[in-house]
Structure 1
Amino acid sequence: MSYVVIATMIAKPGQEELVEKTLRDAAADVHAEPGCARWALHRKTGTTGHFVMVEKWESKEALH
């Protein structure tokens, strides 16, 4: 059974690009974690600074 996590983040005004860069820079490390099947970053359409991360993990244990 796989597990999907959906996380949201809202950047402070003026920090949107820094937050996006930081999250994108972390992607390789997250993908390298045992059990990580997918990690994707999205900006919420029609908003400024709203981010959505979708993660798929191979097991509940991999989340810990």
Structure 2
Amino acid sequence: MDEKLSRVDPKLLELMVCPLTKGRLTYDREHNELVSEKAKLAYPIRDGIPIMLVSEAREIEE
């Protein structure tokens, strides 16, 4: 994958929130996902675009 496409602009990340909880998201570089700890969901990033749909998110196990 192109390295530029796998990065998330830190300014954009500050503005984005989980669509379910409206809580903060963190970027997981290893999995290329935006993670909502509160919702225990990880939203995929495809071709540099965050897919912010709960139906597309992966559940995170503790």
TM-score by length of 1: 0.35
Greater Cα radius of gyration, structure 1 or 2: 1
TM-score by length of 2: 0.36
Point out the structure with the larger strand share: 1
